[in-house]
Amino acid sequence: MKLQIPFVVKCAMGFVALFVAFAIFGQWLSPYEFRETSLLNRLKPPGTEGYILGTDARGRDVLVRLAVGAQITLIVAIVGTVIGAMLGSLLGIIAAAKRGWTENAIVAAIDVQASLPIIVVALFVLAMFDNSFTLFLLLIGLTGWEVYARLMRGAVLSAKEHGYVTAVRALGASPARIYLGHILPNVASIALVQFTINLPLTILLETALSFLGLGVQPPLTSLGQMMSEGRDRLLTAWWLTLFPGTIIFLLALSVSLIGDWLRDHLDPTLKSR
């Protein structure tokens, strides 16, 4: 099958590639270190000699801070999404495989999570424990686990009813063989599609929490944290908020577009027709 990639999706892929490259190598575009302050060069607008994208209220170079912020945002988004995907998928598969009380317990956990928006859970936990990067990463990792769990439980339950599973059971295949060899490969695409839906959500949650000042803490920075710092100077130093904001938006947009496209091409219900 030859893949026709629409122009918009190509642009989205291009932007994501550019973003990743910027997150990894961007720091070398600037001679400064991201925590390096310069009291003489505070709030310089973009285009100022030596500071292409300007400086913030402490005279730190916005370009290098964007690169570091992008890096942190990328790490948190990917690690967080992976944690949620693994945890949720595993629980969903266990629920469908075990049935009985194990399943009831997991379904109850899904109900509880579904009744609490993840940002509320995160705020509750952050109110009581000292914010650390690890804790923050774990909280982000909880984003959407219940969706994976629900989807995978449903997918595995329906896969178990498929003729090929019955036939393979009748051949005498062990449960391990049935799950690893037959059910998992057929439900994996559902988790993959959900991954692409969840990734922009994770990005938006990280940046929102950091924007509220409750996520990534200084001296470390992320795109959301930069916006939080620049917020009070919105009218006088727009570049402090609009640069990171635009990058977040374009990143979330690109990932969503790629996700939509992938979903259309991976949807197993479309494929079997």
Contact footprint for another protein (CB under 8 A): 108-109, 111-112, 114-121, 123-129, 162-164, 166-174, 177, 182, 185-186, 200, 204, 207-208, 211-214, 224, 227, 231, 234-235, 238, 241-242, 245-246, 248-249, 252-253, 255-257, 260, 268, 271-272
Task: Considering the complex, state which of residue 83 and residue 257 has its C-beta at the smaller distance from another protein.
Answer: 257
Backbone phi, psi, residue 51, to 5°: -125, 90
Shortest separation between residue 235's beta carbon and another protein, angstroms:
6
Cβ closest to another protein, residue 90 vs residue 168: 168
- Minimum distance of another protein from residue 111's CB (angstroms): 4
Residue closer to another protein by CB (options 29, 212) is: 212
In whole angstroms, how close is the CB of 140 to another protein at the nearest point? 14
**Residue 207: CB partners within 8 Å, gap ≥ 6?**
73, 215, 222, 223, 224, 227, 248
> Which of helix, strand or coil describes residue 50?
coil
Residue 94 CA to residue 90 CA, distance in Å, equals: 6
DSSP state at residue 61: B
Shortest distance in whole angstroms from residue 172 CB to another protein: 3
Question: With respect to another protein, which residue has the nearer C-beta, 30 or 84?
Answer: 84
Rounded to whole angstroms, the Cα distance separating 182 from 187 reads 9
Contacts of 155 (CB under 8 A, 6+ apart): 92, 96, 186, 187, 190
Q: Rg of the Cα trace of the chain?
A: 22
d(C-alpha 89, C-alpha 176), whole Å: 17
Q: Which is nearer to another protein, 3 or 127 (CB)?
A: 127
* Least distance between another protein and beta carbon 8 (Å): 8
Query: What is the nearest approach in angstroms of another protein to the Cβ of residue 248?
Result: 6
Note the helical H segments in 26-178: 62-98, 100-114, 118-128, 133-141, 145-160, 163-171, 175-176
